[in-house]
Amino acid sequence: MIEPIYQPEPTRYDSGMEYRRCGRSGILLHDLSLGFWHNFGETAPLERSKEIMRFAFDRGITSFDLANNYGPGYGTAEETFGYVFDKSFRAYRDEMFVASKAGYDMWPGPYGNWGSRKYLMASIDQSLKRTRLDYFDVFYSHRFDPETPLEETLQALVDIVRSGKALYVGISRWPLEAAGFAFEYLRARDTPCLLFQDRLNLIDRRVEADGVLDCVRKNGSGFIAFSPLAQGVLTNRYLDGIPADSRARQGRFLKESQISDDLIALVGKLDGFARRRGQSLAQMSLSWVLAHPGVTSVIVGCSSTAQLADSLQAVSSKSFDSDELREIEEIASRITL
């Protein structure tokens, strides 16, 4: 059967939500970005991936976060994206904001990892082929490389923009001092760092504590938070046990052994606060991240459109009163993963 041509929802920008400005730039992003780390690789049902991407776009989500090695099956999340893009989204490319990255292990040997010019240049070409895109909107150094001169990694990013393979550059998980150097270096070469990407959620507040969030804001970059739901821990996903189709059951980056009774008791308390606020725990967790000044967007993962629908209700986040916030943060501070 010939598949009907995808017609996006005409009201997709009518929710009334204001898109957030990404630092000192012309780019605006939805509160939520869709992440492809899990659930879009070669083991994920293609139909479901397509459904989630269309569901997101139909609701005004424009920002899609990829990396070379997302899968499982390195490269396969980008291939899934490329396949669906070709079938459904090509006509809407200019409405989309697509990111990819290189920095972690991708192919064997000395040139498929870390931050060399050789790795970044080869990797973006591969990623463009897999995603069937002509350019990325933003291309990131996925992690700080303590061995490669920072100038080499950063100049590769600058040259990627100058070659037209990406419109903007970003850095992910760079420590404070190196990030400060990167902001200066990139600014001086007229390719200011558009986005800084790092983890921020109720139980991992390192970027607040070590000054990264402040530094990003002062430097005019946007901050985009990953794992805002702590891979599903800060939701109701594990409150009644470990579901067979859950990330913890897959045991790759989140292990069943991490979902202890003590952890669930504390998450249950957070769930109680969320309910009293009239939110799901996922919504409250996202609202908390989105309430931080300087946060441009949160990148959510999901394994169903129902999860994304739930998370979408956290947009234009509900504020917290100070007593409530203190209690929520105190409970969250006792959770270790």
Ligand X SMILES: NC(=O)c1ccc[n+]([C@@H]2O[C@H](COP(=O)([O-])OP(=O)(O)OC[C@H]3O[C@@H](n4cnc5c(N)ncnc54)[C@H](OP(=O)(O)O)[C@@H]3O)[C@@H](O)[C@H]2O)c1
Nearest CB to ligand X, comparing residues 42 and 164: 42
CB of 102 to ligand X, least distance (A): 11
Residue 77 beta carbon to ligand X: minimum distance, rounded to whole angstroms: 8
Q: Which is nearer to ligand X, 76 or 231 (CB)?
A: 231
Shortest distance, CB of residue 280 to ligand X, whole angstroms?
Answer: 6
**Which of 1/170 has CB closer to ligand X?**
170
Nearer to ligand X, 65 or 78 (CB): 65
Task: List residues near ligand X by CB under 6 A.
Answer: 35-39, 65, 142, 172-173, 197, 226-232, 235-237, 246-247, 282, 299-303, 307, 310-311
Contacts of 61 (CB under 8 A, 6+ apart): 30, 32, 33, 34, 312
> Least separation, in Å, of the C-beta of 170 and ligand X?
9
Q: Cβ closer to ligand X: 230 or 290?
A: 230
We find the least distance from the C-beta atom of residue 1 to ligand X, in angstroms, to be 30
Q: For ligand X, which is the closer residue by CB, 76 or 303? A: 303
* Three-class secondary structure assignment of the chain: CCCCCCCCCCCCCCCCCCCEECCCCCCEECCEEEECCCCCCCCCCHHHHHHHHHHHHHCCCCEEECCCCCCCCCCHHHHHHHHHHHHHHHHHHHHCEEEEEECCCCCCCCCCCCCCHHHHHHHHHHHHHHHCCCCEEEEEECCCCCCCCHHHHHHHHHHHHHCCCEEEEEEECCCHHHHHHHHHHHHHCCCCEEEEEEECECCECHHHHCCHHHHHHHCCCEEEEECCCHHHCCCCCCCCCCCCCCHHHHCCCCCHHHCCHHHHHHHHHHHHHHHHCCCCHHHHHHHHHHCCCCEEEEEECCCCHHHHHHHHCCCCCCCCCHHHHHHHHHHHHCCCC
Q: How far is the CB of 323 from ligand X (least distance, A)?
A: 26
Q: Tell me whether residue 7 or residue 333 sits nearer to ligand X (CB atom).
A: 333
Q: How far is the CB of 193 from ligand X (least distance, A)?
A: 14
